[in-house]
Structure formats: C-alpha cells, structure tokens
C-alpha cells in the first residue's frame, strides 16, 4: 500500500522538479570570458614635467603603451591638453568596443604626493576593464 501511494505521487514530484533542471543546466553553461584592461594615467605635475600614458594589458592591436598630453604647462592647467587626452581616451574606447570587447567595469583612482610641501603633484588613474566571451 505504501508503494502504491509513492507511485501515485511520483509524477507530481517529477513535475515539481522539472523547472529546476533547465536552470541548473544553464548555470553550468555560462560563457567563459577573456579580460583586457586599459589604464589611463594623467600626471598632475606643475610645469608640464609629468608623464601621462594609456596602458593596455594584454596589449591591444600591438599597443602596450601610448603617450598622452600632460595636464599642466608652465602657466597652469592646459585645457587643450585635457581635450586632447579626452579625444585619445574616447578613440581607444571606440576601437576596443568595435573589436567586440564589452566595457565591464571602470575604476577611478587618484594619488597625490604627501609631505612634499606642495599639492601640485599626483596622478589621475582610471582603469577600464573589458571582457569578451571566449
């Protein structure tokens, strides 16, 4: 008698468990991604003595590092250099996404030198993380 009850409930139990099966299969088939990072370093050093760069890890289209303009000149902030850097960053973002990379995360960072007696030294650093399905 106990077996008979179990056999009657078995189809109902299977129907209740059926929706769980596709989710489990889908969770196991997540695509693997490859990642790339583009880092922009913009120097804040008075007199235009800083070094501003775009770095790629791993390299992108043969580029590991590209030069950008310094944000400051001898007379202070150089708006033309700020604009040129914005254009460089947007150009690289366009190129990377055109190659099928998805912008996944952006992390802004700043660093200023302390105990130097001046506040005019430091960097703006932004990390752009991209991913692409393998």
Asked if residue 20 is part of any domain, the answer here is no
121 or 22, greater pLDDT: 121
Residue 5 has pLDDT above 90, yes or no: no
Structure confidence at residue 91 as a pLDDT band (50, 70, 90)? very high
Residue 120 has pLDDT above 70, yes or no: no
Domain total in the chain: 1
6 or 93, greater pLDDT: 93
Asked if residue 77 is part of any domain, the answer here is yes
Asked if residue 23 is part of any domain, the answer here is no
Residue 98 has pLDDT above 70, yes or no: yes
Asked if residue 25 is part of any domain, the answer here is no
Asked if residue 12 is part of any domain, the answer here is no
Mean of pLDDT values over 68-88: 88
Asked if residue 53 is part of any domain, the answer here is yes
Residue 104, pLDDT score: 95
Q: Per residue in 25-77, pLDDT tens?
A: 555 667 799 999 999 998 877 666 678 999 999 999 999 999 998 888 777 78
Are 36 and 61 in contact, with CB atoms under 8 Å apart?
no
84 or 1, greater pLDDT: 84
- In terms of Cα–Cα distance, which of 53, 49, 59 is closest to 96? 59
Asked if residue 60 is part of any domain, the answer here is yes
Asked if residue 22 is part of any domain, the answer here is no
What is the sign of the dihedral through the CA atoms of 90, 92, 98 and 103? negative
Domain hosting 104: range is 32-133
> What count of other Cβ atoms lies within 10 Å of the Cβ of residue 71?
21
- In terms of Cα–Cα distance, which of 80, 78, 57, 55 is closest to 65? 55
- By CB atoms closer than 10 A (0-12, 13-18, 19+), residue 4 is exposed
Residue 124, pLDDT score: 87
Residue 6 has pLDDT above 80, yes or no: no
Structure confidence at residue 2 as a pLDDT band (50, 70, 90)? low
């Amino acid at each position: 008698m106990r077996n008979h009850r179990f056999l009657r409930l078995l189809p109902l139990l299977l129907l209740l468990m059926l929706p769980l099966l596709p989710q489990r299969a889908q969770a196991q088939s997540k695509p693997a991604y490859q990642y790339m990072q583009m880092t922009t370093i913009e120097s804040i050093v008075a007199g235009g003595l800083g070094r501003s760069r775009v770095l790629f890890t791993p390299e992108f289209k043969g580029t590991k590092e590209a030069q950008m303009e310094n944000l400051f000149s001898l007379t202070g902030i150089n708006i033309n250099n700020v604009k040129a850097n914005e254009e460089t960053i947007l150009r690289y973002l366009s190129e990377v996404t055109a190659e099928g990379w998805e912008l996944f995360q952006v992390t802004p960072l700043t660093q200023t030198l302390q105990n130097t007696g001046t506040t005019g030294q430091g960097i703006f650093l932004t990390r752009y993380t991209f991913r692409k399905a393998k």
